[in-house]
Chain A
Amino acid sequence: MGRSHRPGPRRQGREGSSSHPSGDRVLVLPGEEIPSQGLKPGPGTYRVGGKVYASVLGLLSPRPPFVQVVPLSGRYIPKPHDVVIGTVTDVQGTFWLLDIGAPRWAPLHMTGTPWPVEIGETEKFLRVGESVVVQVENLDPTGRIGVTMNGEGLGKLEGGSIVRISPARIPRVVGRGGSMIQTITQRTGAQVAVGQNGRIWVDGDPEAIHRVREALRMISEDGQRGGLTERVDSYLRSTTTSGDEGPHDPPREGAHRDAPEREFASAPPTEPDVDQDIPTDDPPEPGNN
């Protein structure tokens, strides 16, 4: 386990990108009638007496044969195959409970890890407060979320810190074809791992981490306007300091959305401190109620 591996959360360039639903971007609110034009009510909508209404705040996106509303806010709603970053909230004999920002905690069973875990020895491998990169495996109708750590790019996170943003903003953080995340890693030289659940792991030299946080804040605060990549890029250029691009952690050619470059050779094996939110530098999260 002490072996450092490379949990680079892969992104599947999937739909769900609330950022680019074909052209028209209509904001709808719960209870608002949607012109359905013969389309069936999809996610985020409901039908009463032949009319279709929005049930969540979000952007209208017609996906024939459905109309749906893509939420602009809210907790992370897990989807199978999503790679997410979670923090251990409880340790049981055969599994850990992870807070992945979803409505419920996600159990990670010991068989879902690459480690030789004995029953009752789960705590030797992961303790409360430590963070991991896992993949959503299955969901059942009762809302139970099964996750696994078996897979490329999955594993325990050592060092670094975790930034939280709204899951709805993740497509903007990644950018088209990974352009945004590529810009960020290349300009700062930081190591970044993006979870679909809105948690982003950052490691590197303190200055680089700070600049990544700033960039993430820019993205989460005004992602509604265009030219974001350019603005983030110009911010990162303007703040380039001696600290980065220096010998410590040069920007890597390989930094790429599918495999943010990750090497732990120099990283101290400390736990990532989970911050409450980006703008504030709150102390690590208290033991979670």
Chain B
Amino acid sequence: MGSVGAKDVPVLLSPEGLRIDGRRVDELRPIKIQAGALKHADGSAFVEWGANKVMAAVYGPREVHPRHLQQNTKAVIQCKYNMAAFSVDERKRPGLDRRSQEISKVIAEAFESVVFAEEFPRTSIDVYIEVLQANAGTRCAGLVAASVALADAGIPMADLLPAVAVGKAGGAIILDLKKEEDNFGEADLPMALVPQSGRLVLLQMEGHMTREELSKALDLGVKGCRDIYEVMKQALRDRYMVTPGQEGAA
């Protein structure tokens, strides 16, 4: 990673159509999800996605802090996205910055559209996302982790929220950008999908794409989300596995 200088732009797409790490344009990085990784949280998940490592913890519904944020008709969803100082090559200055505030906000808003917050008036659902190791696409990895953590916490919601970034690098529309593709590519388009309804609840874009490219990217992203959805569900099934036929003896 460190070998890539600012000047020499790496070849992002080989003539054979392979990417910098050998993936095809529509291929995801390997993703691994562990549900229920933390003991004291009401729900939690650990996601390893390519070189990203993200931990998410959910607390609540619980009393709202600070009080004035309390809403009389529904739960408030408070999200805190944070990158560890050691999560990137160059030490990240710890604490809140504009970027993490923005990401916290868009993730909280994505969840507001799926969580049935009216079931818990005057409470708070607190979502903490800690990025331990970053390699592009951490908001998507954080969202995926938080979504599994919310399900693990027994929070009622319309669906899990798979998320992935699509983009453009080396002239091609590609799925799930890694760091070099994000840094040197032409566009980055993170998105989160509600598989049950097909709605997108997070969509941001940086860079340039034509309309045709955008619609191709959206299709590719939706497909990627559906694949990630399966991994998310499997993670939860693994945690709450019910061995059939053996129940009831106790």
Contacts and interface: CB of A to CB of B under 8 A. Distances in A.
B152 A143 contact: no
B interface, size bucket: 35 or more
B160 A104 contact: no
A95 interface: no
Interface stretch (B21-29, B36-44, B45-53, B93-101): B36-44
A67 to B, nearest CB: 15
A55 B158 contact: yes
Interface residues of A, number: 46
Interface in A218-243: 223-230
A48 B197 contact: yes
B80 to A, nearest CB: 15
Given A55-B116, A227-B250, A73 B244 contact: no
Interface stretch (A4-12, A24-32, A113-121, A147-155): A24-32
Given A29-B233, A31-B160, A19 B42 contact: no
A27 B242 contact: yes
B154 A175 contact: no
Nearest to A289: B65
Contacts, number: 128
B61 interface: yes
B61 A280 contact: no
Given A29-B233, A57-B236, A224-B243, A75 B249 contact: no
A96 interface: no
A142 interface: yes
B244 A25 contact: yes
A75 B42 contact: yes
B157 A55 contact: yes
A44 B62 CA distance: 19
Interface stretch (B3-11, B118-126, B175-183, B210-218): B118-126
A104 B63 contact: yes
B17 interface: no
Given A31-B160, A48-B197, A226-B248, A104 B240 contact: no
26 contacts: A19-B247, A25-B244, A27-B241, A27-B242, A29-B160, A29-B233, A29-B237, A31-B196, A46-B158, A53-B158, A53-B196, A55-B158, A56-B156, A57-B151, A72-B154, A73-B42, A74-B42, A103-B75, A104-B62, A143-B121, A172-B250, A225-B246, A227-B250, A276-B39, A280-B39, A289-B65
Interface of B: 39-40, 42-43, 60-63, 65, 72, 75, 116, 120-123, 151-160, 194-197, 233, 236-237, 240-244, 246-250
